[in-house]
Amino acid sequence: MKKVFLALLLLAAGGMLVLFQRPAAASPTRQGDYPSPTPGSDGRIIYIVKGGDTCERLSILYGVSVEYIRTTNLLDENCSLREGQSILLGIAAIPTPTSPAETAISGATPTPTPTPAPGTSGTAQICVLVYNDINGDGLRQSNEPAIAGAALSLTNPEGTFSQTKLTVINPDPTAYQGMCFVDIPPGKYSVSAAAPDGYNPTVELTSSFDVVAGDVDSVNFSAQEKAAAPTETTTKGPSPLLGIIGAALLLGGIGLGIYAWRIMRKG
């Protein structure tokens, strides 16, 4: 009886050992979710920033350059992102609607056609020059050079296009000294400039116009260098010490006169 009880005890202990040594089921590892953004009804491809996102990561994931992300979304020089921010990754052309019969036959929803790649036909170019209006007449003369450090901005009323640039001086004096926005889709645009420190605008620094495919438009803005503040000169007046000495001499002269008058009376 003792042997049977001992055998059952050993069997139960072995079962418990096997039970506790069973490997635990591996918990699924949560992967980062980066779905492909779908163009909206206006053709814009918007991405919502998640925690840990960087412009470099979005560039690798979606094939958009870091410079495009930074300039299109008006980000700072470090291309800083914040969680929950809406980022424009591109604009897709809205497809031509198909008839219900064609849609039923194909059984698929039409896919938006991407806009032409940079450098292809169908786009325009806008060049902006900011110059030093030396005589302040708002008209550029041959001796009035371009200004570096002026901030330029090009936008459209729909808010689907926005780019910024900073003017620089081309070391080649024969080259165009303005900054050009290239591959601009046709439409209505506004371009504006902000004069750098040390300059006052001599014309309105905003212009609006229609852009036609294939055109090269140019805009000139002018600003005048601020005059140096005049040096404040101080004119020194008479020294107070000289006034005191003069008063003392005058009083001394009066005293001598009185003294001489008294002597003459006594004599």
202-211: long-range contacts (C-beta < 8 A, 24 or more apart)? 202/133, 202/136, 202/137, 202/138, 203/133, 203/138, 211/124, 211/126, 211/184, 211/185, 211/186, 211/187
pLDDT-based confidence at residue 12 (cuts at 50, 70, 90): low
pLDDT of residue 221: 93
Neighbour-count burial for 206-230, b at 16+ CB within 10 Å, e otherwise: ebeeebeeeeebebbbbbbeeeeee
Q: Are the CB atoms for 146 and 126 separated by under 8 Å?
A: no
pLDDT of residue 261: 67
- Give the chain's domains with CATH numbers: 39-93 (3.10.350.10), 124-225 (2.60.40.10)
Q: Tell me the per-residue pLDDT of 124-144, one tens digit each, with 9 for 90 and over.
A: 888 999 999 999 888 888 899
pLDDT of residue 25: 40
Strongest mean pLDDT among 17-21, 79-83, 113-117, 176-180: 79-83
Better-scored residue on pLDDT, 263 or 143: 143
Q: Looking at the predicted structure, is the pLDDT value of residue 155 above 80?
A: yes
Strongest mean pLDDT among 32-41, 72-81, 252-261: 72-81
Q: Looking at the predicted structure, is the pLDDT value of residue 75 above 70?
A: yes
Mean pLDDT of 70-88: 88
Q: How many CB atoms lie within 10 A of CB 108?
A: 8
Please state, in angstroms and rounded to a whole number, the distance separating the CA atoms of residues 41 and 103: 18
pLDDT of residue 232: 52
Average pLDDT, the chain: 74
Which is it for strands 216-225 and 113-114: parallel, antiparallel or unpaired? unpaired
Residues 6+ away with beta carbon under 8 Å from 151: 164, 165, 166, 193, 194, 196
Mean pLDDT of 179-202: 90
